[in-house]
Amino acid sequence: MKTVASDLCLVMCRLFSDALERTTLWDKIGASLMAAHAKAAATGDLERFVSDALEGVKASEGAAARDEGLLALLDTVAVWPVEVRQRFLDYVASRRFVVLSLARRRWEEFKTAHRGGPQP
């Protein structure tokens, strides 16, 4: 669950809108995760959670449709049973600081590895 949560945050980093202030990246992602959780927690609707989280960072629909990381994440969670989906939503909400910290470290590693090259 930790890796999938981190993967979602990396997708949110890549799709973070240029209309938003980049210095608020992690605060905005955290707030978006919590707002999305509030809407999806009762039903365990993981697809809604992901969509609402991406809306929170004003992701472009076209960019989201082209993002291979997002597609891989959706393929991963598509086979999860309902109870696992619910546990994932609860995990993200109850451990958001851990999720964000781990995702930030992975994001920094990604940026270092892709410095000067095209973004995926």
pLDDT band at 101 (very low <50, low <70, confident <90, very high): very high
* Model pLDDT for residues 5-26, shown as the tens digit of each residue: 999 999 999 999 999 998 999 9
Alpha carbons 11 and 91: distance in angstroms, whole number? 18
> Of 5, 7, 25, 33, whose CA–CA distance to 110 is shortest?
7
Q: Average pLDDT, stretch 24-42?
A: 95
Compute the residue count for the chain: 120
Q: What is the pLDDT of residue 111?
A: 87
Q: What is the pLDDT of residue 115?
A: 77
Alpha carbons 84 and 27: distance in angstroms, whole number? 26
In the predicted structure, residue 103 carries a pLDDT above the cut 50: yes
pLDDT band at 120 (very low <50, low <70, confident <90, very high): very low
Cβ-contact 34, 96 below 8 angstroms: yes
Alpha carbons 41 and 88: distance in angstroms, whole number? 10
Please give the mean pLDDT across all residues of the chain.
93
Both tokens assigned to 95:
């451990």
